[in-house]
Copies of this chain bind each other. A is one copy, B any other.
Amino acid sequence: MKSLTLRYSGATVRDLNDIREFLESAILNLGGDENIAGDLVLAANEAVTNSLLHGYGDQPGAVSLCVETEGEDLLVRLLDSAPPFDPTTVPPPDINRPLEERPLGGLGVHMMRQLTDELVYRATDDNRNELTFIKRGVLSPVQ
């Protein structure tokens, strides 16, 4: 097993670019393909954005992103120390309704779900939020 981690003591939305670049290159490095990388980057980008804007209220906050392999699965873990919040409880939007009838926004968690095989939330022992994005069976068995 191999993992790559990017950690900030005080991240802001200005770091999102850097975070997306890290995720993309880490995923490719661990054997994911461009498609998998695209999905996970999009999904994790939403989660980090929410953590920074909703969780930390747009103030600098600690976040860490870990890309790791588990057998043939590829995982991205986001850890933050913002107030506890479990995004998997957010109800899905109705994306079949026409745009004029839809509220603006509310698509972030939906994208996280759509773009991963599994989205797992847990509060860690030291009270941090841990959100794990899983893509199943995407690595070659040799990995």
Contact = CB atoms under 8 A, between A and B. Distances in A.
A18 B30 CA distance: 11
Interface size, A (range) = 10 to 19
When all copies of this chain in the complex are counted, the total is: 2
A1 B8 contact: yes
Nearest to A21: B29
Nearest to A5: B5
Question: Main SS of the interface on chain A?
Answer: strand
Contacts of A5: 3-7
Nearest to A8: B2
Interface string A1-39: 111111111100000001000100100010000000000
A8 B3 CA distance: 6
Contacts of A29: 18, 22
Given A4-B4, A18-B29, 20 more contacts: A1-B8, A1-B9, A1-B10, A2-B6, A2-B7, A2-B8, A2-B9, A3-B5, A3-B6, A3-B7, A4-B5, A4-B6, A4-B7, A4-B22, A5-B5, A5-B6, A5-B7, A7-B68, A22-B29, A25-B25
10 contacts: A1-B8, A1-B9, A1-B10, A2-B7, A2-B8, A3-B5, A4-B22, A5-B5, A5-B6, A7-B68
